[in-house]
Amino acid sequence: MNNMGAGIAITGCGSAAPEAVLTNDHLAQMVATSDEWINTRTGMSNRHIASATESLSQLSAVAAQNAIAMAGITATDIDLIILATSTPDDLFGSACKIQGLIGATNAVAFDLGAACSGFIFALITASGFIRAGVYKNVLIIGADILSRWVDWSDRSSCVLFGDGAGAMVCQGTSQDDRLLSFGMYSNGSQNDSLNLNYYSQSKPLVENITAQYGSYKPITMNGKEVYRFAVAKVPEAISKAMFQANLTADDIDWLLLHQANQRIMDAVAKRLKIPTEKILSNIAEYGNTSAASIPLALDAAVRDGRVQPGHTIAASGFGAGLTWGAAIFKWG
């Protein structure tokens, strides 16, 4: 046990995405849509699609290595790896595979499933271990390859999703705690609004005993319900977190939301009275990458200099479950 006190420092980030880019014009060749229709309604222009030789574990490993390098530590310094994903390479989990790929030989690793809220839930989970003094250096990864589970003939959903991975290093510190407040929420009564369901076939084994085996159906979504849910619950969650941290909208340097739809992000900013120029958005390039979307957007903003040490970031993830959560933290 490493007794590091109650402080958390966020010291590194990284990201990775597949090489292949699927544009709105490409989608217009596949289904009845257009670049204008997609861009106007979602803010999306491109999305990156994993090839047969690109795995979730490999993308995650690259993102993790970039985050570890920025933090100025080595893979063997990592005590814990939390992989937030809904699309592991292996149904038993992919966190341990990533641990092996990056050489984090001293780390315990596990997967966390909370769909598009996964990265925020992973950050909050990591903070509990650090604040308890159990672990000093925690690597959190948000990664998804949703293209594996998209119905590419469904115009309402196939335009939305892309693939990618993002990572963050959180470290115990005796200095100021950089995670200022957080909240996590779930509403299972709306579970059928966004699903990637298992379907089975019957296989008789012996008399009176039949096993069920099968696969998963493509993603289904009630877009209107998810939109209404997000624009109502996300501002509420962030407002509660700001209250807990004794902050106002004027204290927030950046609004970092799950990249589901630009209209959702704009609506959340308006309700919070946060200027839209404070929204960190890369949805035009990557689309909705589920658990990867928040760290992908953060990494781009850190590396191009928009996000500076000491900046206060209000972040929120929301999606299937239904789940949602918020965290307010200072970068660096």
Tell me, what CATH number does 324's domain have? Answer: 3.40.47.10
Examine residue 213 and state whether it is found in any structural domain, yes or no: no
The predicted-structure confidence for 143-177, as pLDDT tens digits, reads as follows 999 999 999 999 999 999 999 999 999 999 998 99
Name the domain count of the chain: 2
How far apart CA 299 and CA 25 sit, in angstroms, is: 27
Average pLDDT of 72-100? 98
Question: Is 60 exceeded by the pLDDT of residue 86?
Answer: yes
Residue 193 lies in a domain: no
Query: What pLDDT score does 31 carry?
Result: 96
Render pLDDT for 113-136 as a digit per residue (tens, 0 to 9).
999 999 999 999 999 999 999 999
- 170 and 184 in a single domain? The answer is no
Residues 236 and 293 grouped into a single domain: yes
Q: At a CB cut-off of 8 Å and minimum separation 6, what does 234 contact?
A: 257, 264, 268, 316, 318, 324, 326
Give residue 1's pLDDT band: very low, low, confident or very high (50, 70, 90): very low
Beta partners for residue 225, in sequence order: none
Residues 225 and 326 reside in one and the same domain: yes
What share of the chain in percent tops pLDDT 90? 97
Where a domain ends, among 119, 146, 176? 176
pLDDT at 2: 43
Per-residue buried b or exposed e for 292-318, using 16+ beta carbons within 10 Å of the residue's own CB: bbbbbbbbbbbeeeebeeebbbbbbbb
Give, to the nearest 10 degrees, the angle between helix 262-272 and helix 35-42.
20
The secondary structure of residue 271, as a DSSP letter, is: H
Where is the domain boundary, 150, 176, 202?
Answer: 176
- pLDDT value at position 35? 97
Does any domain span residue 226? yes
Please give the average per-residue pLDDT across 262-275, as a whole number. 97
* Mean pLDDT score across all residues of the chain: 96
Among 144, 176, 208, identify where a domain stops: 176
List the domain range (segments joined by +) for residue 234: 180-188+220-330
Active site residues per annotation: 116, 258, 288
